[in-house]
Structure 1
Amino acid sequence: MQDNLYRVRALRDVVVEELDPAAFAGDGAPRDTADPNDIIHDNTRKAGFAAAALNAYASQIGDTYENFQALISDFLADLHHLADTLDVDLKAASQGGRENCLAEISVSR
């Protein structure tokens, strides 16, 4: 199954303070085809949407992070609080998100 997966275009040597969602935009338009390059392009754009949310979160809390692991961990913890407040089953939402991601990285979509 790993041979059929098309993830994202990797960004190298990016530090938390310099995360720029525009770096993920590609040509700015979704391609929505089964072509492997288009799948990578579209999934990289989607990663940029999450980068924008992560930037907004980091600016709200005003904390500095040495790495993305710590920042995303805190973000997920606060999503747990939000899910509790909204009475959302975060485990089910996370599973649904994982299933969506796996479908989006598959060439058979």
Structure 2
Amino acid sequence: MISRGQYFAQWRTHRKLTQVAAADLAGISHPVLNRIENGKRKYDANHLASLAKAYRCEPWELIGVDPTSPETSCLKVWHRIHDPERRRLALLVLEAFTDQCEPSEELL
């Protein structure tokens, strides 16, 4: 299991940034970023917002999404679908690619 601090480091390395460069972009000190990444310091909403901006992602992604996972692309697309009917259709399409023979009844 990966700790939340490790997602911070994964996003940083995914964006090919050093800790010093990332801290500079986020407007925080290098030691603070180092402690956040190592789980030795708690982060707050300001840290999430500034690091998300530096890493070109959403704040929630920093604490719950592995940037190297294939599911990350799907999540990013999903969060851009705001219309309920389009979300329903997107789920139908995704279910068509699973091993299930029929879509869930709640989607029909």
Q: What range describes the TM-score normalised by the shorter chain of this pair?
A: under 0.3
When the two structures are superposed, what TM-score results if normalisation uses the length of structure 2?
0.24
Give TM-score scaled by structure 1 length. Answer: 0.24
